[in-house]
Amino acid sequence: MPAQVTAFQSLAQSIADHGVDTVFGLMGDANLFMVDHFVRGCGGRFVPAAHEGSSVLMALAYAHVTGKVGIATVTHGPALTNCATALTEGVRGHLPIVLIAGDTPVANPRHLQSIDQREVVKATGAGFVQVRTPETVSADLARAFYNARVERRPVVLNVPADFMWQEVAHETRVLNVFDNPGAAAEGDILDQAIGMIASARRPLILAGGGAIHARDQIIALANRLEAPLATTLKAKGLFNDHPYNMDIFGTLSTPAAYDLIAKADCVICFGTALHDFTTDRGKLMQKKRIIQVDIEPRAIGGGVHPDAALVADAGLTADTIVHWLNEAEIPPSGFTRELDINTLTAHPIGSTKTGDGFVNYVDALERLEAALPKDRVLVTDGGRFMTEVWCRVSVRDPKSFVVTANFGAIGQGLQEAIGAGVGCPDRPVVLFTGDGGFMMGGINEFNTAVRLGLNLIIIVANDSAYGAEHIQFLDRKMDPGLSLFDWPSFAGMARALGGHGIEVRSNEDLATALQAIGNNDRPLLIELRLDPHDVPRMRI
């Protein structure tokens, strides 16, 4: 007969039953006993955040770098509304996490913090599972895990606070699911797609985040066709060191790669929704045959109308195309013989001069690229500075690259860097953020990184402005004064919060900062002081 326990003990044990050993969160009166039992009774680890939304962001990055379902927990009412932006970020990034949210007592509808939590979650696009009764808590958690994995998005498990101390019979309930379904393309549309590929003189292959698992099969197709390989931002690093690799496709391409894309007559797209930045608002796909392959039906046709669309697995489809090209004895295109890889992947540097008391941003990035640990996990916040980082700072593979700009928000980078650090404890994590983003979301979690003892390097690009807005004022010949800020010293703040901090105003300061990399025994913050009038424009 199942043992009688409280609902909060059953919930904590159910989390452990799913193989979870780490929960991110912030405790309140609706989840504190569950968290306590998860740590003391189940041997789990609780990573406390300073802000509820931070716990969700930490879980998102943890899910990205580990491939597991991330888990976070908050209490009710304002705790959940504080998570709205983070949940939307996770939905747009297709990241599976379960957020266990308390809810106000069912018996007290006039509770001060009462709110329709289902409607709040619905607005973000996240899933929602209501705990029906105290007795069903383990089954409802299993459903939330299942939904998060299969739907590839955050799911909120809503648990009324007055359920927690109810006596229940705990049973282990885990919905085992194979969550990487694969289907091979077939039929007339496949035949049409192969015909387009076979007749192409300059085919090009583009892989996105939905095709990371199919790297080897896509490379085999590229080799067979003699076609260049490119990635979206989300798949950055997928084809590192391959002789046909032309790096990121779209507005982040090098000038030479952009010109090469224009010459292509057929683009075979795997696992990418082809949004505006990838296609440069459609310009790069004009006068080309477009073949789109994606396991997710909603990704097809959203940005560009393809000539052939295949709702199918990327790897199996690439294998199938190679098979029929061989059967028909189609010769390779020879397009790669026109490539000059050195020019395709090299972004121009331009002038390295800048005003007194500032450093040149592009030059600093080039020097940081050489000095930062090669086995790093790279995390980028949103904002004006990030496009140059995306172009100039390399990553080992897509799993080592955490982009926090799925919703276009700033101020999420440090929180996700913490989640990545917890998920990859043996690797250094490097975060690039702007001054506005760090003030918005970095300061409140910097000490969290210190307390956790993370191997974290933070580069703050500080132009004392909201840079994107500063540029818009200047472009219209208006006074940019309202976009400027007299921030405190970020390096000084880092030291006050228990980390290391170095302010960089000259090339000599930068050399000192580079020497400190690798010798830091606590989080290191490098503050690059930049001239707001001399920062490269965003490339998107």
The SS3 call for residue 56 is helix
Domain 4-169 sits in which CATH superfamily?
Thiamin diphosphate (ThDP)-binding fold, Pyr/PP domains (3.40.50.970)
Span 183-202, average pLDDT: 91
For 309-332, how does the pLDDT look when each residue is reduced to its tens digit (9 = 90+)?
Answer: 999 999 999 999 999 999 999 999
Nearest to 117 by CA among 84, 86, 165, 150: 84
The fold for domain 361-529 equals Rossmann fold (3.40.50)
The listed CATH number (3.40.50.970, 3.40.50.2300, 3.40.1710.10, 3.40.50.1220) that belongs to domain 188-344? 3.40.50.1220
Q: How confident is the model at residue 350 (pLDDT cuts 50, 70, 90)?
A: confident
Nearest to 78 by CA among 113, 116, 106: 113
Q: How far apart are CA 520 and CA 310, in angstroms?
A: 49
Domain boundaries, the chain: 4-169, 188-344, 361-529
For 146-162, how does the pLDDT look when each residue is reduced to its tens digit (9 = 90+)?
Answer: 999 999 999 999 999 99
Burial 407-420 (b: 16+ CB within 10 A, else e): bebbbbbbbbbbbb
User: Can you tell me which residue has the tokens 């908050």?
Assistant: 74
Q: How far apart are CA 150 and CA 162, in angstroms?
A: 30
pLDDT of residue 179: 62
Both tokens of residue 202?
């300059």
For 162-181, how does the pLDDT look when each residue is reduced to its tens digit (9 = 90+)?
Answer: 999 999 999 898 887 766 66
**Do 361-529 and 188-344 have the same topology in CATH?**
yes
Nearest to 372 by CA among 356, 393, 355: 393
Q: How confident is the model at residue 291 (pLDDT cuts 50, 70, 90)?
A: very high
For 361-379, how does the pLDDT look when each residue is reduced to its tens digit (9 = 90+)?
Answer: 999 999 999 999 999 999 9
User: Which long-range contacts link 186-193 to residues 24+ away (Cβ below 8 Å)?
Assistant: 186/320, 189/308, 189/309, 189/310, 190/310, 190/317, 190/320, 192/307, 192/308, 193/291, 193/308, 193/310, 193/321
β-strand partners of 483: none
Q: Rounded to whole angstroms, what are the CA distances from 21 to 18, 24, 317?
A: 9, 10, 36
For 256-281, how does the pLDDT look when each residue is reduced to its tens digit (9 = 90+)?
Answer: 999 999 999 999 999 999 989 899 99
* Helix residue ranges per DSSP H, 106-254: 117-124, 137-151, 188-199, 215-225
Is 368 within 8 Å of 402 (Cβ atoms)? no
